[in-house]
Structure 1
Amino acid sequence: MNLDELTQRLHRIRDNNDWKQFHSPKNLAMAASVEMAELVEIFQWKTEDQSRQLPADELAHAGQEVGDIVLYLLLLCSELGLDLDEVVRAKLTDSERRFSQ
């Protein structure tokens, strides 16, 4: 996955629709949160086993929501001047240090 290419494509969509005015860090964080809530809703009231064996339509829906979340996070990183690859790698390194024995 080439994050720079994905970000450029997102910026084209944003710019073609004059959405930059709405893409403040606050709004993008809230939008990602809303999409996460939509993902959570797919799993609401399911057992642990059911959550691991979603029907094809629900699995596709979950994929759509995951995509929405990632795209909003890419836009958020762009607005904040963060490199998503770098922040994820740094967090993973920190988690390895803290939780690997």
Structure 2
Amino acid sequence: METGLEELTARLRQAVHERGWAPFHTPKNLAMALAGEAGELLAEFQWLTPEESRRVMDSPEKAEAVRSELADVFSYLLELADVLGVDLIEATNKKADIVARRYAEGYYGD
């Protein structure tokens, strides 16, 4: 049984295949696209005060733009992980364990 994440990854993989994009979806290109989309997400918050950024979803237009950019970032992240064979849930759990251990030890870096 597939999880929602696996189903979404399969859907993205199918879309890439149907459009003939696979030759262009290299790890380098996907990482660059991910960075570009993260920049577009960042642009939605540019010049907002901290309080305005907390209320960004109160505006229907702004909320739709933020949702769209988040979806783009997430899609490229899933595609990159798929191409590299990385299980994002496993990797994130492992990282969370490392952060928890470091925090418990008094280390607050990366």
Fold in common (TM above 0.5): yes
TM-score, normalised on structure 2?
0.86
Higher CA-based Rg: 2
Q: Could you list the runs of 4 or more consecutive aligned residues of structure 1 that deviate by over 4 angstroms after TM superposition?
A: none
Q: Of 19, 23, 27, which residue of structure 2 is paired with 1:25? A: 27
Work out the CA distance in 2 between the residues paired with 1:32 and 1:78. 14
Q: Equivalent of 1:41, from 43, 48, 63?
A: 43
Tell me which amino acid in the other structure corresponds to 2:27. Answer: P
Q: CA deviation at 1:31?
A: 0.4
Q: Does 1:85 align with 2:89?
A: yes
Q: Work out the number of aligned pairs and report it.
A: 101
Greater RCO (CA < 8 Å, at least 6 residues apart) = 1
Runs of 5+ unmatched residues, structure 2: none
Query: How far apart are the structure 2 equivalents of 1:60 and 1:90?
Result: 32
Where in structure 2 are the equivalents of 1:1-101 lying within 5 Å? 2-54=4-56, 55-100=59-104
Superimposed CA distance per residue, residues 41-75 of structure 1 (whole angstroms, 9 cap, x where no aligned partner): 01101101100111221122111111111111111
Percent identity (aligned): 39
Report the TM-score, using the length of structure 1 for normalisation.
0.93
Q: Which amino acid aligns with 1:82?
A: V
